[in-house]
Structure 1
Amino acid sequence: MKIADITTKVIGDKRRWWAYKARTKKLPENYRTAVDALERYLMFFGATDGDGAASMFEDLADLFERAAADRTPIREIVGEDPVDFVDAFLQNYNKGGWVTRERERLTSGIQRAEAMDEGEQS
C-alpha cells in the first residue's frame, strides 16, 4: 500500500483535509490549541475510513467555529473531562473502527457470561 493510500484512508480526501486545516488555522489561539489536542487524539482513536474521518474533522471545525463566534469558553464545550467529551463525539463516527468492535466484543462477552450465570441459578 502506498503512503498516499494510507493518508487517504486515515484523513480522507486531501482537499477536505486541507480545507479543514485552513478553517482551524483561522480560529483564535485558545480554540486552535483545543482543536489541535482533540485532533491528535482523534487521529489515534477516530474514524477508520477516509470519508468518516473527513466528516468528523469538518464537524469538529464547525463546532469550534460556532463556539469561537459565540465566545463560548473551552470548558463549556468539552466539559470537565475532555476524554469523556471526545469519546461521546467519536460515537457519531466510529462505526466499524477497532475500538467499537472491541467494545462490542466486550459487551457481548459479558452478556454471555451473565446468561450463563442466570442458567446456573435456575
Structure 2
Amino acid sequence: MRIREMIEGRKEWRAHVARVKALPRDYQIVYKEIQKYLFKVGPVQLTEGTELLSGIVDLFEEGAAMGKDVLEVTGRDVAAFCDDLIKDSKTYADLYQESVNQEVHKAIQKVSKKTK
C-alpha cells in the first residue's frame, strides 16, 4: 500500500468515526457492538474498506433523524441483523472451513496412496 493510500484511508476512517460519535448514545452503543461482532465473525472484505460500516452509519443516521429507537432500526436480535447483512459474504469462518476440508482431503489422499 502506498503512503497516499494509507493517508486517504486514515482520513476516511476518521470521518467515519466522527459520524459514529455524532449519533445518539444508544445508536453508538449498538454500532460498537455490531462492529465488534463483524470483526470477530467476518466478512473478509470488511478489512478492505468501510462500505458495510458506512452503510450501517447511513441507516442509523436516518433512523435517528426519524426519531426511532435504535432497536426499531436493527430489530431486537442485533446479531441476526448482522448475520443478515453478511449472509452473501465470505467470512473468516468460511475460509477456515475450507482450509480444514482441504487438509482433511490431503491427509486422506496421502493415506490412500500409502495403503495401495
Distance change (3 Å), C-alpha of 1:90 and 1:103: farther
Q: What is the aligned partner in structure 1 of residue 74 from structure 2?
A: 78
SS at match of 2:44: coil
The Cα of 1:98 is off from its aligned counterpart by: 2.5
Distance change (3 Å), C-alpha of 1:16 and 1:91: farther
Q: Does the 8 Å contact 1:67/1:77 carry over to 2?
A: yes
Q: What is the aligned partner in structure 2 of residue 99 from structure 1?
A: 93
Please say if 1:44 is aligned against 2:40.
yes
Provide the TM-score with structure 2 as the length reference: 0.65
How far apart are the structure 1 equivalents of 2:43 and 2:13? Answer: 14
Deviation digits for residues 11-68 of structure 1, max 9, x if unmatched? xx322222111100001111111111111111212332343x4111111111111111
Please say if 1:22 is aligned against 2:8.
no
SS at match of 2:59: helix
How far apart are the structure 2 equivalents of 1:66 and 1:90? Answer: 21
How far apart are the structure 1 equivalents of 2:43 and 2:11? Answer: 18
Give the number of the structure whose alpha-carbon radius of gyration is greater.
2
Q: What is the aligned partner in structure 1 of residue 83 from structure 2?
A: 87
In structure 1, runs of 5+ residues without a counterpart are 1-7, 105-122
Give me the identity figure in percent.
27
Q: What is the aligned partner in structure 2 of residue 61 from structure 1?
A: 57
Distance change (3 Å), C-alpha of 1:14 and 1:48: farther
How far apart are the structure 1 equivalents of 2:44 and 2:26? Answer: 28
In structure 2, runs of 5+ residues without a counterpart are 1-5, 99-116
Number of residue-to-residue matches in the alignment: 92
